[in-house]
Each structure stands twice: as C-alpha cells, then as structure tokens.
Amino acid sequence: MAVIDLTDASFEEKVLQSKIPVLVDFWAPWCLPCRMAGPVIDELAETYKDKLLVAKLNIDENPATAAKYQVMSIPTMILFKGRKEIKRIVGFSGKEEIKAEISNDTNV
C-alpha cells in the first residue's frame, strides 16, 4: 500500500473514519529532516500495509489541519486510532524508533 497524500478536505474521511490506525506525517518540502524521513515513511507504508495506513500532509498547502492538531515543528508524526491521537513523534529519529513507537501503541 502506498503512502496517501492528505488535504484539509480529505483528513476527516481518510484518517478519522479509518477502520485501522493511521500514521500521519506532517511535513513541508523545504524541511530537510522531512525529506530525510520520506523514504522511511514509504518503507513503513509497505511494512505495515494491511495493519496501518500511512499518510502525509503538506502543512504549507493544508494549514488548517496542522493548526487544529497544534503541529508547531516538523516533521511531526501523529498516530491516530479510533478518531483519537494516541501518539506524537516530533522530529526524525530513524526507522527503528518510529517502528518501536508504532508497535507499542497499535500492536502491529
């Protein structure tokens, strides 16, 4: 399963109404750590393809959702489950750390 690109308009349907947990990467193209995280986000989407939806939200193009979830620095990854935020990872610390955080909170 590929990474899904989100917009302010699609966030409710794709994330909050999802039947499985969703990891949302809040990013911007000018952010170097965000670009470094990109390939890892793609790998996570493939690794967890049937258990976890992985999505990206460009905060420059979709400021309303970033503001709603008080994303103050990027990259920020928020794990949603059952319409609720259950984990927030600020900054990019590498694939293994992200996988550990996901596994701790979703049992995937």
| CATH (domain of 81) | 3.40.30.10
What are the pLDDT digits (tens) for 13-61?
999 999 999 999 999 999 999 999 999 999 999 999 889 999 999 999 9
Peptide bond just before 39 cis, omega within 30 deg: no
The active-site residue out of 34, 52, 55, 77 is 34
34 catalytic residue (yes or no): yes
14 catalytic residue (yes or no): no
The active-site residue out of 4, 10, 28, 31 is 31
56 neighbors 6 (Cβ within 8 angstroms):
yes
Share above pLDDT 70 across residues of the chain, in percent, rounded to a whole number:
95
108 neighbors 51 (Cβ within 8 angstroms):
yes
**Total count of domains within the chain:** 1
Instruction: Determine the structural domain holding residue 81 and report its residue range.
Output: 4-106
101 neighbors 46 (Cβ within 8 angstroms):
no
d(CA 55, CA 38): 11
Question: Torsions phi, psi of 30, nearest 5?
Answer: -80, -5
